[in-house]
Structure 1
Amino acid sequence: MGRGPQWSLGQWQTVPAASRTPAGIRSSDFGTSYTKLTLQPGVTTVIDNFYICPTNKRKIILVSSSLSDREQSLFLSTDEGATFQKQPIAFLVETLIFHPKEEDKVLAYTKENKLYVSSDLGKKWTLLQERVTKDRVFWAVSGVDTDPNLVHMEAQDLSGGFRYVTCQIHNCSDKTLTAPFTGPIDHSSLTVQDDYVFFKATSTNRTKYYVSYGRSDFVLMKLPKYALPKDLQIISTDESQVFVAVQEWYQVDTYNLYQSDPRGVHYTLVLENVRSSRQAEESVVIDVLEVRGVKGVFLANQKIDGKVTTLITYNKGRDWDHLRPPSTDMNGKPTHCQPPDCHLHLHLRWADNPYVSGTVHTKDSAPGLIMGAGNLGSQLVEYKEEMYITADCGRSWRQVFEEEHHILYLDHGGVIAAIKDTSIPLKILKFSVDEGLTWSTHNFTSTSVFVDGLLSEPGDETLVMT
């Protein structure tokens, strides 16, 4: 097996468009050395974004603009970025969506709300549909949709209303569009996830939420009679069960969690008052986190009377418990933290303090291993960022650091790498080979450098990091 490419596109991801870095750099020896990408000799090429095929990492598409931003081209590679073929395009790409199973099929959503498809890795493009809603385009789901060439989308009709439509990429026109639901739906409400399709429809100031299971007919989602939702967010559709967050009419910055039957129709309340936050572009973030690697395990931050506390469930919400506090701190001193008045609390999806990232680290290939920043006490304190770890999926916890760190799991969690999350230059890396019980230090550079994070070579068994 050859080594895969390691990609670094300079600063263009984090700086304003006017100062994007003209070229990317590429490494094929795990970051030991880098070479500059020469896409067009003698021509300055600005890389806007890049996409790696999920089913064949050798296939890569770069999206580039001219310096005037009036033209775009694609650069296509089938050899991990060693060589590229330029492909001019007649539209401006907003995002590309690779097919989840078939490596040469790609959807392109444009800045003009049009949807194009290519079946040859971007060489030729065909217009599928106009007036398509951003982020409401979905490829067929393997094992659920019978046709792998089917595309689900939300599109605006000529009357201005929005519809849920599907079409086959090789035969897509206004005449061949299929409407699985005949009526109008609310703008930006379509979600296709696993066995389920969801959307909402509002008429005469009343909003109804619909679900289809296994691509069957749509039926109303049935919440308890006392529930009067003003918003509903899908949290999870794992294991043929829907987990949703519902904001009731009286709630401002919290949501209630509900759990469904297998068809996603009937719902039962499992946890009240999970905190929420309005982020950029009016998107909502619910402070509930699915623990990767172990099915049915979720962490949630509950907010009652201004106090935020962290809870965990092992059965997808039927039962919730507080996080058990460690009896000693990282120095072996007693914590004097005794339930029911004192527990461990973690920043999950975000932190109100801008200097705390609020990231909890879990990984599919390291089941049971969870690391996060937080504090001991009666509630979560926004400025506290002590680091805690569990190796038994939250049954017991230990403190490992006094400050927040960037974390990387290597070799199924057999090695944990950590580096302090700080704005000052660093040269020391910490690592543990015993699930955080003990830590060693390594000087990775002779001169201190600014560190944004840690990256690993793709693959669960790797011990290579950047």
Structure 2
Amino acid sequence: MLMRDATRNTLYLIEDYGKTLKEVQENVHFYQWGDAAWDDDDRRVYFTTADPNPNSDIEDETVNLFVSDYPYTGGSNEFDKNLGDHDGFLLVGRYIFAQRTDDGVIGLHVSDRRKPFKRAMIPVPDEHRNYLVIRINDVQALVIVEHAGGFYNLYLSDESGVYYSLSLRDLVIDSDYNIDLELIEGLNGTLVANQYTREDTSDLASSIRTVISLDNGGFWEGLLLPDEDINGDTINCEPPNCSLHLHMDFTNYARLGVYSTESALGIIVAHGTIGIELSINPDLFISRDGGVTWEQTLAGSWGVNLADHGGLMVAAKDYHQEQSTVLKYSCNEGYSWRDFTFSSTDITIYGVVTEPGQHTTIIVSY
């Protein structure tokens, strides 16, 4: 294993259960293990070093990206001499992303399959402030760019990771990088996101709508409305001015945002509202076909868990709203629900965990 001494910023290798430490490199700012699929050895280490000069005008200024191969003898090689000083890097699969500032201008640089870095070509000319790599598959990358003015756009790369096209404008995200973007588990290429509907990015009071992409961000559209509400009444709401909108990380007014799992392919459970824009007081909705169609399954806010590949769904009232003596469960993917009374007095339920086995166990945390 590797260990970084934060007081001295020295990277050490531990090979004998902690008995001895072998120094790999001093002044290490950040490091990552290699990837056996794209490196000769998954024990290869990539790292940047920090400027040890206490009189430097730039605190913790990083310098070149280095790589050290196993066994670690204290030596290392510069990965790409043309990259030079940079602000940081991220290694994911076949790509290495590096952010570099040149004369006050921030740019993104990409190494594909461990080849030399190239400057990423991102079409929107607005000034860049930061980059967030959100998704990587074997051939494409999704990158969020923070632009000057406080708005964020999502961009989709080509197969080299260098050339980008605009995927989604004005993604909903806050200063702590809570992002309203969900990758649906088990369905490669299906994404759900919230975006601001404002014409002017300086309009902070604009509304929020939910959109879905089934092709990894190439095309986005609004969510289809359910035909009926939970009472069986027809929903009088005409698209495209009216659609289903979902709560996510930043806009999460309920306990559960958008929930999916690889063990229950196609099932998505989420809290949302119907109307022109996202609003508070959501209900629980379910999709059984990967987000193509939706149905309102329970009124109000709930904590939900799935077991037995979606064959069992368990729901408990949101502890932010009220106490309860009852759990709800469904054995038909939320088409109908039954009650299970587990307490004679009202209890605040903080979590519901399902443990599948020969007999499914439901654990209530309160």
Q: Give the TM-score band, short-chain normalised.
A: 0.7 to 0.9
Shift in Å at residue 321 of structure 1?
Answer: 1.0
Quick one: which of 25, 34, 47 aligns to 1:153? Answer: 47
Residue identity matched to 1:406 = G
Quick one: which of 328, 334, 345 aligns to 1:436? Answer: 334
Partner Cα separation in structure 2 for residue 358 and residue 294 of structure 1: 20
Partner Cα separation in structure 2 for residue 462 and residue 122 of structure 1: 42
Shift in Å at residue 443 of structure 1?
Answer: 2.5
Shift in Å at residue 389 of structure 1?
Answer: 0.5
The 5-angstrom pairing of residues 7-86 of structure 1 reads none
Shift in Å at residue 358 of structure 1?
Answer: 5.5
- TM-score, scaled to structure 1: 0.69
> Corresponding residue for 1:366?
264
Q: 1:107 and 1:412, CA in 2 relative to 1: closer, same or farther beyond 3 A? A: farther
The 5-angstrom pairing of residues 72-221 of structure 1 reads 106-112=1-7, 113-120=9-16, 122=18, 124-133=20-29, 136-159=30-53, 160-163=60-63, 164-168=65-69, 170-173=71-74, 176-182=75-81, 183-186=84-87, 189-221=88-120
Whether 2:268 is the aligned partner of 1:268: answer no
Residue identity matched to 1:108 = M
Partner Cα separation in structure 1 for residue 5 and residue 255 of structure 2: 32
Structure 1 residue ranges, 4+ long, deviating more than 4 angstroms after superposition: 120-125, 445-448, 459-462
Residue identity matched to 1:317 = G
Partner Cα separation in structure 2 for residue 351 and residue 450 of structure 1: 23
Query: Secondary structure of the equivalent of 1:246?
Result: strand
How well do the aligned residues superpose, as a CA RMSD in angstroms?
2.4
Shift in Å at residue 233 of structure 1?
Answer: 1.4
Query: Secondary structure of the equivalent of 1:273?
Result: coil
Shift in Å at residue 169 of structure 1?
Answer: 5.2
Partner Cα separation in structure 2 for residue 413 and residue 390 of structure 1: 12
Query: Secondary structure of the equivalent of 1:258?
Result: strand
The 5-angstrom pairing of residues 249-288 of structure 1 reads 249=148, 251-252=149-150, 254-279=151-176, 284-288=177-181
Partner Cα separation in structure 1 for residue 49 and residue 349 of structure 2: 43
Give unmatched runs, 5+ long, in structure 2.
Answer: 54-59, 199-205
Q: 1:126 and 1:427, CA in 2 relative to 1: closer, same or farther beyond 3 A? A: farther
C-alpha contact 1:411 1:461 (8 A) present in aligned 2? no
Whether 2:275 is the aligned partner of 1:377: answer yes
Deviations 1:67-103 (A, max 9, x none): xxxxxxxxxxxxxxxxxxxxxxxxxxxxxxxxxxxxx
Shift in Å at residue 261 of structure 1?
Answer: 0.9
Shift in Å at residue 444 of structure 1?
Answer: 3.3
Q: 1:433 and 1:115, CA in 2 relative to 1: closer, same or farther beyond 3 A? A: farther
Shift in Å at residue 462 of structure 1?
Answer: 8.4
Query: Secondary structure of the equivalent of 1:363?
Result: coil
Identity among equivalent pairs (%): 28
Whether 2:191 is the aligned partner of 1:292: answer no
Q: Which has the higher contact order (CA 8 A, sep 6+)?
A: 2
> Corresponding residue for 1:344?
244
Q: Which moved more, 1:258-267 or 1:149-158?
A: 149-158
> Corresponding residue for 1:408?
305
C-alpha contact 1:345 1:374 (8 A) present in aligned 2? yes
Deviations 1:195-234 (A, max 9, x none): 1110111121122211011111111111126354222211
Shift in Å at residue 439 of structure 1?
Answer: 1.0
C-alpha contact 1:370 1:389 (8 A) present in aligned 2? yes
C-alpha contact 2:255 2:302 (8 A) present in aligned 1? no
Q: Which moved more, 1:327-336 or 1:218-227?
A: 218-227
Give unmatched runs, 5+ long, in structure 1.
Answer: 1-105
Partner Cα separation in structure 1 for residue 3 and residue 339 of structure 2: 46
Whether 2:321 is the aligned partner of 1:420: answer no
Query: Secondary structure of the equivalent of 1:212?
Result: strand
Residue identity matched to 1:261 = D
Partner Cα separation in structure 2 for residue 436 and residue 201 of structure 1: 49
Shift in Å at residue 152 of structure 1?
Answer: 2.1
C-alpha contact 1:244 1:258 (8 A) present in aligned 2? yes
Shift in Å at residue 125 of structure 1?
Answer: 4.3
Q: 1:376 and 1:142, CA in 2 relative to 1: closer, same or farther beyond 3 A? A: same
Shift in Å at residue 122 of structure 1?
Answer: 4.9
| Number of residue equivalences | 345
Deviations 1:330-375 (A, max 9, x none): 121222122122100001222264xx34621011222211111110
> Corresponding residue for 2:57?
none
Partner Cα separation in structure 1 for residue 357 and residue 264 of structure 2: 9
C-alpha contact 1:370 1:391 (8 A) present in aligned 2? yes
Partner Cα separation in structure 2 for residue 247 and residue 147 of structure 1: 34
Partner Cα separation in structure 1 for residue 90 and residue 215 of structure 2: 24
> Corresponding residue for 2:212?
312
Residue identity matched to 1:376 = I
C-alpha contact 2:44 2:70 (8 A) present in aligned 1? yes
C-alpha contact 1:410 1:461 (8 A) present in aligned 2? no
Query: Secondary structure of the equivalent of 2:266?
Result: coil
Q: 1:330 and 1:200, CA in 2 relative to 1: closer, same or farther beyond 3 A? A: same
Q: Which moved more, 1:394-403 or 1:425-434?
A: 425-434
Q: 1:455 and 1:154, CA in 2 relative to 1: closer, same or farther beyond 3 A? A: farther
C-alpha contact 1:410 1:462 (8 A) present in aligned 2? no
